[in-house]
Amino acid sequence: MLEGYRGKAYELLKNINADIGDLLEIISKGIRIEGILMPSYSKDEKIIVIKMDNGYNIGLSLDNISEIKLLNKLRTGKQVAEEIHINEKKSSEIKIISTGGTIVSKVEYETGAVRPALKTEEILQFLPEISDITSIDAEILFSILSENMKPEYWVKIAEKTKEAFDSGNKGVVIAHGTDTMSYTASALAFSLQSLKGPVVLVGSQRSSDRPSSDSSINLLSSILLAKNAPFGEVVINMHGESSDTYTLAHRGVKVRKMHSSRRDAFQSINDKPLAKVFWREKRVEMLRKDYIEKKDETILDAKFDDRAFLLYYYPGLRTEIIDSLISYSKVRGIIIAGTGLGHTSSDYVELFRKAVKDGIFIGMTTQCLFGRVNMNVYTTGRQLLDAGVVPLEDMLPEVALVKLMWTLAHYQDVESIGKIMRTNLVGEINPRHTMDLYPRWSHE
């Protein structure tokens, strides 16, 4: 089936007995180009789309093509999917759960719009190479924008993840929009503290219809990681550099999106990545040995209380705003993103003291991201400690917020909440920092 092709391009491909997924050789303007035939992204009937070895899709016009050959008849995504369904005894090794975003998308030829791929067959058409790596099963759980993610959706994703492992899958890949992916990764890490295999969140900074899209490389490497990684924990896997050599798997509770548009936007904070994935060589290189090992059973504990607040301190923050937050809202816990080693103005000390006495947990993180809080150094920090504000080591503010939501759903009293918040559950607290944990960011 030559999906998307019409007119002259369709006739030419039909004459050489080509199907989507076949390997072609094309001579265009005297240049030999080899690649896999993909569905057409163009309304121009003269355009033929192929995926080159570097992962990019290109469109070639018949006006410039002097020769075209069928080099290898490969199985199409549809044929692979049919084989999976025909052999009912064969279960998938990797489950792909889509929540939205552009990572697994498909161009609608009538409108030019990009929509999420819904079926295993569509994903295999998007990335035929997957069939040479493993067997997959895919479903769309949500089709939402990243900013519309909610705690109740985290619960559903966690439930689907456990279901996937219970049905025999070795790993789970979760397609997610990049903007709030680190929040979801943290939520899954706290909800699934015992895992039978890797849970890999993956996204795309650039949509699949753009020449510089990172969709295919990120997805392919995430499937490789989900199948071959030795750990049983939640990670985010994205481009590790501005080019296309490898991706990096970051621990889900120690990673942040650090750039709005770069393909290598994600970075481990106060931590090292767990693994490097070389997608061309189909190889996973572990960078650390202190990963969480796989367990015999996946245990689900997905409960969240969203009566938590992330307070970003700034000079001039009005005391009545904090008083209103504490006195009139239903908030049960506050995470402060404080300055430096963990500070706010001393004007708020008594307000925080009252809040803690009223049963509201207050935890301190730092806006600096790199480094950790130390509230014993300066007078204001010691005053905040005396008022009952709890230092949260090197936890990222958003990770601390998600952990607090999870903790509030399990504990009622401030003392118990504080104890859990300072306990390292899934690697969210790094007890020791070395110089090699500090920024690797380079502005190219």
Task: Give strand pairing partners of 33.
Answer: 26
CA angle 98, 168, 105 (to 5 degrees): 15
Does residue 257 carry a catalytic annotation? yes
The single residue listed with the structure tokens 């552009």 is: 102
CA terminus-to-terminus distance, the chain: 43
Does residue 162 carry a catalytic annotation? no
Positive or negative torsion for Cα 275, 277, 278, 284: positive
Task: Say which of 102, 247, 344, 407 is annotated catalytic.
Answer: 102
**Which helix (DSSP H) or strand (DSSP E) does residue 226 occupy?**
helix 215-228
Task: Say which of 44, 179, 305, 323 is annotated catalytic.
Answer: 179
Written in H, E and C, the secondary structure of 135-192 is CEEEEECCCCCHHHCCHHHHHHHHHHHHHHHHCCCCEEEEECCCCCHHHHHHHHHHHC
Task: Give strand pairing partners of 275.
Answer: 249, 286
CB-CB contact of 412 with 249 (8 Å): no
Q: By C-alpha distance, which of 137, 110, 133, 120 is closest to 41?
A: 110
Does residue 102 carry a catalytic annotation? yes
Residue count of the chain, please give it: 444
Task: Say which of 162, 257, 294, 403 is annotated catalytic.
Answer: 257
Task: Say which of 76, 99, 161, 178 is annotated catalytic.
Answer: 178
Whole-angstrom Cα distance, residue 26 to residue 43?
Answer: 20
Does residue 339 carry a catalytic annotation? no
Instruction: Give catalytic residue positions.
Output: 102, 178-179, 257
